Amino acid sequence: MNDRTNRKAEWIAFYTIIRKEVQRIIRIWSQTLLPSVITTTLYFLIFGNLMGSRVGNLGGFPYSDFIAPGLVMMSIITNSYGNVSSSFFGAKFSRSIEELLVSPVSEHTIILGYMTGGIFRGLMVGILVSSVALFFTNPVVTHPVLAVILTLLVSSLFSLAGLLNALKARNFDDISIIPTFILTPLTYLGGVFYSVHMLPDFWRFVSYANPILYMVSVFRFAFLGASDIPPWPALLLLITLTLALYGVCWFLVRWGKGLRN
């Protein structure tokens, strides 16, 4: 096979992985797409409407408008992460991952294929949750290109994080520990429901160590045009983290860590 044929074969394999992932997401839509829509609707009802009317404005915006970007971002993060960690670990557990491992597919194609699956679910849920937000907020997207770039970056980063989790996991408990004990607390403490400027100095300083704070803040900037944190350094941080995580995943898959004997 020459280089061109090899590249074509890799593209077909890449498309096959994505197709398989998309089919899976759609087949079990009640587990993959619906829960975030229900949760976000409840958040908007309770925090946005019932409590939000008492909170008033935050950062110059109605409370429901203020929390909307954070809620969308939270859904993108948890879904892109959850998609890859459960799908890849499921394949590892059932040993169907061997279908890929014995084939000529390169490590890059495997990683990018699963990552794209995670991005797809993140985007789908992001669109659905944004649609829900339309019923409760005054829709404004000040910087749409930035919103799209950030969505792609964040879903890529958390898809890779999910893959890393799945590569390291030995049982189903291992893939629920990180979302439960790390991801969810960091998301809730990432300024989804409040402005970091409302915190005392010490806790504000601690919050700056939380990467999700930057994602939520920049996403809010893309929507509302105002943010706690300047967007460009945050984007740079995100790109760096994504590349670093990709490198770690590639190393693990290349040397079969957690996959081959």
Partner 1 sequence: MLALEIANLKKTYTGGQTALKGISLTVKKGDFFALLGPNGAGKSTLISILTSLTLKDSGTVKICDIDIDKNFAEARRRLGVVPQEFNFNIFEKVAQIVQNQAGYYGIPRRLARERTEMVLRQLELWEKRNVQGRMLSGGMKRRLMIARALVHQPEVLILDEPTAGVDIELRRQMWNFLQQLNCTGTTIILTTHYLEEAEQLCRNIAIINQGEIIANTDKKSLLSMLDTNTLVLELAKPLKKAPVIQNAQSVLSDSQTLELTFSSRIPVSKILYHLETQKISFTGIRNKTNRLEELFVRLTAKRAS
| Contact status, residue 154 vs residue 231, Cβ threshold 8 Å | no
Build a one-symbol-per-residue string for 93-132: x at contacts with partner 1 by CB under 8 A, - elsewhere: -xxx-xxxxxxxxx--------------------------
d(CA 54, CA 94): 51
| Contact status, residue 115 vs residue 163, Cβ threshold 8 Å | yes
Residue 177: CB partners within 8 Å, gap ≥ 6?
none
d(CA 157, CA 119): 9
One residue of 2, 4, 54, 260 binding partner 1 per CB under 8 A: 260
| Contact status, residue 241 vs residue 261, Cβ threshold 8 Å | no
Which of 31/138 has CB closer to partner 1?
A: 31
39 to 43, 159, 182, 253: CA distances (angstroms): 6, 21, 19, 34
Taking CB under 8 A as the criterion, which residues in 21-40 touch partner 1?
A: 23, 27
- Is residue 150 at the binding interface for partner 1, with CB under 8 A as the rule? no
- Is residue 261 at the binding interface for partner 1, with CB under 8 A as the rule? yes
Instruction: Name the segment binding partner 1 (CB under 8 A); options: 20-28, 32-40, 215-223, 237-245.
Output: 20-28
Q: What are phi and psi of 215, to 5 degrees?
A: -65, -45
d(CA 63, CA 42): 15
- Is residue 16 at the binding interface for partner 1, with CB under 8 A as the rule? yes
d(CA 242, CA 26): 26
- Is residue 19 at the binding interface for partner 1, with CB under 8 A as the rule? yes
- Is residue 168 at the binding interface for partner 1, with CB under 8 A as the rule? no
Total residues interacting with partner 1, rule: CB under 8 A: 33
- Is residue 10 at the binding interface for partner 1, with CB under 8 A as the rule? yes
Instruction: Name the segment binding partner 1 (CB under 8 A); options: 3-11, 122-130, 142-150, 233-241.
Output: 3-11
Instruction: Name the segment binding partner 1 (CB under 8 A); options: 13-21, 69-77, 178-186, 195-203.
Output: 13-21
Q: Rule CB under 8 A: which residues touch partner 1?
A: 1, 5-6, 8-10, 12-13, 15-17, 19-20, 23, 27, 90-91, 94-96, 98-106, 255-256, 260-261
